[in-house]
Amino acid sequence: MSATDLRAMILVGDGLGDRPVPALGDKTPLEAQPTPNLDALAARGQCGLMDAIAPGVPAGSDTSHFAMLGYDPYQYYTGRGPLEALGVGLEVMLGDLGFRCNFATVKREAADLIVVDRRADRIASGTDELTAALNSLPPIDDIQFIVKDSIEHRAALVMRGPALVEGLKNVAASPKPIITDADPHEEGEPIWRAAATVPEVQVAAAALNLWIRQAHDVLKEHPVNQAREANNLPPANAILPRGCGMAPDLDPFEERHGTKGGLVVEAGLIKGLGRYIGMDVLDAPGATGGYDTDHISLAKTAVAALDSSPFVLCNLKAPDLAGHDGDPEKKMEMIAKLDEMAGVLLNEADLDKTAIAVTGDHSTPCALEDHSGDPLPLIITGYGVRADAISEYGERPCGMGSIGRVRGHDILPMLTTLIGTAHKFGA
Ligand code: ZN
Ligand code: ZN
């Protein structure tokens, strides 16, 4: 069998991992929910535990997907801003700075702009027009400011200029914002003065502060805001950038792993990351990212994607939502959906030629209603795998499997070695 025939897939239950729940007889939702298809995959393969980033480190979905796609987040992750920009569909290029933003309501007091409402009453319409007005502002110090609006008051910003491209070549990747937030995070506070944390972005930080003032001047006169004020709604008369990060220096997926990659996910942030590294990002019909999502469509789209991309990652978002909602029964329901997705893989993927990993991107224990650093249950199946004795998919059964304990960025090499596309290290 040649490497070109072989395929690999990672099936991810977002926020899948959990802790023992007293109401479920001290089982986790995954252990309590019958999962015949996932158990069948476990029986065919090897099981183990996976730390998305490192033992005990609660991962975000973004850093965890960096890792599972084979990019060590400690080496490459540069913060939420650039991913947010990618997620809303902005183009992001190496040498750019990216930010998350809010449209907000401010009032002038002496020289300060005081934040009155950080979300401009969750402004529901007109931000596209406000964005267009901001995008017509001229560059400052040869730096372009490119904004795109998102849901409600949310938006993203990209700063781009030749001096930035040159300067950022010398800046090491770090998750800390390299320009501090202008968003004061609290109402009643003035918009903060953004400051450079490295000399290479000093000019950019000064330009950003000036742009925020210019943005206020444009927004406060804008017809959308005049109409809002006439209707006694707070105007979206300021934009508050935060979470600045430079575009991460990631080599394209195909170059790195020797195979094309496909992505079938629901979160914009992860889709944006996939596009950035040149993966084939597919939309599954009926996928909503919510409890009502068409999970069968996600699984079928992922299986179909294997025709053109020998590696595919597919993520079901819903288990994470149930974790955040603190609802173990709902989480079991969503795990039943994940199990049906595994059923689609069992029935429709050619299992002799397809290596499959099943795991989560982080734990979202219902008791915490947030992400935790608890490890995730992992299955690896495929041609040539040395199957172990574990035949039940759950946190504790997987803890007794032959893989032992690995990290998120180990999974992709474990799969590419099975399908014969891994690069040799050494002679
Ligand atoms: Zn996640
Ligand atoms: Zn979450």
Host H or E run for residue 333: helix 328-348
Separation between Cα atoms, residue 103 and residue 90, nearest integer Å: 17
Per residue in 201-237, pLDDT (tens digit) is 999 999 999 999 999 999 999 999 999 999 999 999 9
Q: Which ligand is nearest to the CA of 364?
A: 2
The CA 18 to ligand 1 mean position distance, Å, reads 13
Distance 372 CA to ligand 2 centre (A): 10
Q: Which ligand is nearest to the CA of 12?
A: 1
Cα separation, 344 vs 93, in Å, equals 37
Q: Which of 248, 246, 250, 224 is nearest to 235 (CA)?
A: 224
Ligand 2 midpoint to CA 404 (Å): 25
* Distance in angstroms (rounded) separating the CA atoms of residues 115 and 107: 7
Rounded to the nearest angstrom, the distance between the alpha carbon of 103 and the centre of ligand 1 is 26
At 115-153, the pLDDT tens digits run: 999 999 999 999 999 999 999 999 999 999 999 999 999
H-only helix segments in 148-201: 162-168
For residue 420, the model assigns a pLDDT of: 87
Distance (Å) from CA 8 to ligand 1 centroid: 21
Going from the Cα of 322 to the center of ligand 1, the distance in angstroms, rounded, reads 12
Report residue 294 as tokens: 């068409």
Give the DSSP letter of residue 143: B
Distance 51 CA to ligand 2 centre (A): 16
Measured in Å, residue 178 CA sits from the centre of ligand 1 at 25
Whole-number Å distance, alpha carbon 136 to ligand 1 midpoint, is: 36
Report how far ligand 2's centroid is from the alpha carbon of 265 (Å): 14
State the distance from the centre of ligand 2 to the C-alpha of 371, rounded, in angstroms: 6
Please give the Cα distance from 149 to 147 (Å, whole number): 7
CA of 235 from ligand 1 middle (Å) equals: 34
Is 208 within 8 Å of 45 (Cβ atoms)? Answer: no
CA of 211 to the centre of ligand 1 (A): 34
CB neighbour burial string for 230-257, b if at least 16 within 10 angstroms, e if fewer: eeebbbbbbbbbbbbbbbbbbeebbebb
The overall average pLDDT reported for the chain is 96
Q: Is residue 425 very low, low, confident or very high in pLDDT (cuts 50, 70, 90)? A: confident
| pLDDT computed for residue 1 by the predictor | 45
Average pLDDT, integer, range 287-295: 97
Q: How far is the CA of 362 from the centre of ligand 1 (A)?
A: 6
Ligand showing the shortest atom-to-Cα distance for residue 376: 1
What distance in angstroms lies between residue 320's CA and the mean position of ligand 1's atoms? 6
| Ligand 2 centroid to residue 118 C-alpha, Å | 23
Give the number of C-alpha atoms closer than 13 A to the C-alpha of residue 311, restricted to the C-beta side: 29
3-state secondary structure of 409: helix
Q: How far apart are CA 101 and CA 117, in angstroms?
A: 14
Q: What end-to-end distance do the CA atoms of the chain give, in Å? A: 24
51 CA to centre of ligand 1 in angstroms: 13
Expressed in angstroms and rounded, the spacing between residue 56 Cα and the centre of ligand 1 is 16
Burial of 404 (0-12, 13-18, 19+ CB in 10 A): exposed
Q: Which residues neighbour 132 within 8 Å (Cβ) at sequence distance 6 or greater?
A: none
CA distances from 320 to 96, 198, 328 (A): 31, 36, 11
- Residue 146 Cα to ligand 1 midpoint, Å, equals 28
Q: Give the C-alpha separation, 210 to 370, whole Å.
A: 37
pLDDT of 239 strictly over 70: yes
Measured CA to CA in angstroms, residue 23 lies from 18, 26, 27, 57, 336 at distances of 13, 7, 8, 27, 18
Strand pairing of 280-281 and 46-51? unpaired
From the CA of 63, the nearest ligand is: 1
Contact 16, 30 (CB under 8 A): yes
Q: Is 24 helix (H, G, I), strand (E, B) or coil?
A: helix
Q: What is the pLDDT of residue 424?
A: 83
Cβ neighbours around 200 below 10 Å, total: 18
Question: Which residue, 425, 415, 413, is CA-closest to 380?
Answer: 415
Rounded to the nearest whole angstrom, what is the distance from the C-alpha of residue 254 to the centroid of ligand 2? 28
Instruction: State the pTM of this model.
Output: 0.91
Quick check: 407 and 67 in contact, CB under 8 A? yes
pLDDT single digits (tens) 88-103: 999 999 999 999 999 9
- How close is the Cα of 292 to the center of ligand 1, in Å? 17
Distance (angstroms) between ligand 1 centre and the Cα of 174 equals: 21
DSSP string, 49-78: EEESSSTT-PPPHHHHHHHHTT--HHHH--
Q: Is 385 exposed, middle or buried (0-12, 13-18, 19+ CB in 10 A)?
A: middle
Where helices occur in 123-265 by DSSP H, the ranges are: 127-135, 162-168, 202-221, 223-230, 253-257
What percentage of the chain carries pLDDT values higher than 70? 99
pLDDT in tens, 384-423: 999 999 999 999 999 999 999 999 999 999 999 999 888 7
**Average pLDDT estimate for 32-41:** 98
C-alpha 88 – ligand 1 centre gap (Å): 18
Residue 317: strand, helix, or coil: coil
